Each structure stands twice: as structure tokens, then as C-alpha cells.
Amino acid sequence: MNKDIMTKAVRLGEYSPKSISTPKTVPIYMSSSYAFETVDDLEDVYSGKEEGYVYSRVGNPGQDTLKAVMAGIEDGEDVEVYSSGMAAIAMSIMANVSAGDHIVASNVLYGGSYSLLKEELKRFDVEVSFIDIENDDIAASIKDNTKILYMETISNPLMEVVDIREICNMCHEKGVKVIIDNTFATPSICQPLKHGADIVVYSATKYLCGHSDVMAGIVIGDKETVAKIRYTGSLLGPTMSPFDSWVLTRSLRTLDLRVKKHSENALELAKYFENHEKVEKVYYPGLESSKYHELSKELFNTDHFGGMLSVDLVGGEQAVCDIIEHLESIKFVPSLAGVATSVSFPVRTSHRALTDEELKESNISKGLLRISTGLENISDIIGEFDRALAKL
């Protein structure tokens, strides 16, 4: 070995420490690429004869650990992970459509998904029909060239729940794949694959990560479907970093515990809002008064209904602006699902791209406050809303 400092600095250091013991947690493999002894070894990995990693855009040990945990808790055949929820959604859609195809989508969706479907796909000559998935005749909106139906299990921001079993059956009869964004529900509450969905997508930035510190996306489906999405993703390139896959794996260990507590708090908060004179309407499927309550109980695999709820304030848009200022420690955050309770203002954040007409069609009012219920003591959460509402 050359004694030059530079040469030693870049070449020394063993990949694998010699040790009879193994690390208790999976290490972070912060390596963009992998080295091979021979060209034949590389060929064997490419051909699938040997297991191994080549380049982190197409695979990394940390991602594989995360995929194994996620496949288990979702009960899905195969999983792919991405650098954001939008990447997971875009890859799932783009892998399944070509120019000239048609998509049917719910008109109540996360605003980014809505804009992707409405604006971006148009540039690639993919037509999208937005429908009221609860009341419209879905079958009538499906055409010969329809390839995908896209919806959310619990819709953002109105917490609507529709019968995904019926929708999936009908779509499958017509050869249409169903992609369901299960971000608000998480696998702790609902597993859409069991109800017939072909692809489940997540903004893992939200509950799956749960601590407001990582951007991530996940796709789950059968082997063939995920292989197709994986190929598209490997070329478009929204890879999840080794560090983020490590953090996300760690977060999944406590997902179920967190979601239960988020849900218990959300139910108590929803009941409190239901009886408040300054609240016009509460959107939460866990309330017995919700029109989605009975169906949710059938579709959900627990008696929990998630941590997200929305309310229409009596004072409309101005009341939302005011309550955001009156809240003491509950922050106004254009995201959700962290450990601390936060609020959002859909028409100014996630759904700001929708026109007044589109908001009306989607029944999203300007006085809608969306609440992501955290893990705090519930009396502290209610106390803070109580003081803020009293000032309106």
C-alpha cells in the first residue's frame, strides 16, 4: 500500500467489522454503490443467480429491511419505497398508464394528487375524470380506455369513507386497477388490499414515520404490479435514502401504538367539537353521528378511526385564521400525523390549487379547519381548543 496520506485516507477501512456478534438493529448502509471481486460476480447479481446489491437507486439493504417490515404489517406480496408520498403516487400511476389512457379519480383527494392527475398527466395525454365517488355512478364513468381508479380510504380533508369492496369488484369486472391512498388510515386501521385494492400507496411522511422528520412514500401490491412500478421508479429515480429508510423502519416499530393513541384522542376531540356552539360540523368517521360510521366499522380492522378530523367553524374563513392565532402551542402546519397535535387550513395549504368551483364540487368549505390529533394528554388538547374557541 502506498504510504501517501491521501491514498490511505480513501482506501483504508473494512466494510464489515470482524465480530462474532451482530448489531441489534439493522445498520444504515450509507453507500451509493457496491464493489465486486469479479465481473462474473456482478453478472450473477444482475441475472438474479446471486443475491446482492449493485447501486442504491435500485436497491439497498436498509430499504429491503423496511420493505420486509411493511410487507408484513400490510400483508402485501411486495413493496417499493420512495423519497416522498407524491413519488409513490406518481410511480404507481405512471407505471400503469400510457398516452391515450383514461383515469377515474375521486374529487376529494390530497391537493398534490389532485394537481398531478389534473395538470401533469394531461401533458402526457392521459385524461382524468373526477367524480363524486360517494354519489356518482362510478361504472358509468369508466370507459374502454380506463386503466385506473384512484381514491383515498379516508379522504383528505373530509374524512369520507366509501365502500372500497364494491368499487374494487366493479372495477375488476371492467379490467380497471384500483389504487388507494391509505395515508390517513394506515395499515393499523385498514388494509385495502384485503378489500380488493390492487395497489396501496402511502405518504409515509405522515403516520408511518409519525415524527415530522422524514419525507417518504411506499407502494404495496402483488409481485407483478410492484415489479412494473419498481422498473418505472428505477428510471425516474425518486429513491429513498438509506438514512430515511432506517428512520422509517424504526418508526414502524411503534406505528400501531401511536395510531391507537392518535385515534383515541381524535374521538374524544371530535365529541368535544360536536357539542360546541362555534363548530358547525365535525367530520370524523369515529362519531356515531357520522354517516360513515357503520361502513367504517365494517371496513376497518379495529375499533379505531384514525387521528385526523376536520371541523367547519361557524365564523367561516376568518374564524379559521383567528383560531390559528389564538391557539397557544398547537401549531399551524401544512402537514399531519406528527406526535404533537397540529392544525391545517386546507383551502390555503393542501388544497390551495383548487378553484372556488372545484372546492364547491368537492364540498370543501373555506371555514374548514383540519386537525391532526397528537399523542398529548387529551385534556390538554381539549383545553387549548376550548380557550381558543372562546376567543372567537
Task: Provide the binding-site residues for ligand PLP, judged by CB under 6 A.
Answer: 84-86, 110, 112-113, 152, 156, 181, 183-184, 203, 205, 215, 217, 335, 350
In angstroms, what is the minimal distance from the CB of 14 to ligand PLP?
37
Question: Which one, 61 or 221, has the nearer CB to ligand PLP?
Answer: 221
Question: Which one, 104 or 389, has the nearer CB to ligand PLP?
Answer: 104
Q: Is 49 a catalytic residue?
A: no
Q: Is 57 a catalytic residue?
A: yes
Q: E strand or H helix at 219, and its extent? A: strand 217-221
Question: Which one, 183 or 249, has the nearer CB to ligand PLP?
Answer: 183
Which one from 29, 82, 110, 150 is the annotated catalytic residue? 110
**Hey, what's the torsion of the CAs at 85, 88, 90, 95, to 10 degrees?**
-170
Q: Is 181 a catalytic residue?
A: yes
**What is the C-alpha separation between 260 and 39, in angstroms, rounded?**
51
> How many residues in the chain?
392
Strand partners, 177: 148
Question: Which one, 86 or 199, has the nearer CB to ligand PLP?
Answer: 86
Which one from 29, 67, 147, 181 is the annotated catalytic residue? 181
Strand partners, 281: 312
Q: What is the CA radius of gyration of the chain?
A: 23
Tell me which residue of 238, 230, 203 sits closest to 217, measured CA to CA: 203
In angstroms, what is the minimal distance from the CB of 155 to ligand PLP?
8
DSSP letters for 91-129: HHHHTT--TT-EEEEESSS-HHHHHIIIIIHHHTT-EEE
**What is the C-alpha separation between 361 and 129, in angstroms, rounded?**
13
Question: Which one, 167 or 319, has the nearer CB to ligand PLP?
Answer: 167
∠ CA 210-241-199, nearest 5°, is 65
Q: Is 64 a catalytic residue?
A: no
Closest residue to bound ligand PLP by CB: 85
C-alpha dist (Å) from residue 15 to 57, 59, 246, 259: 20, 18, 18, 38
Catalytic site positions = 57, 110, 181, 206
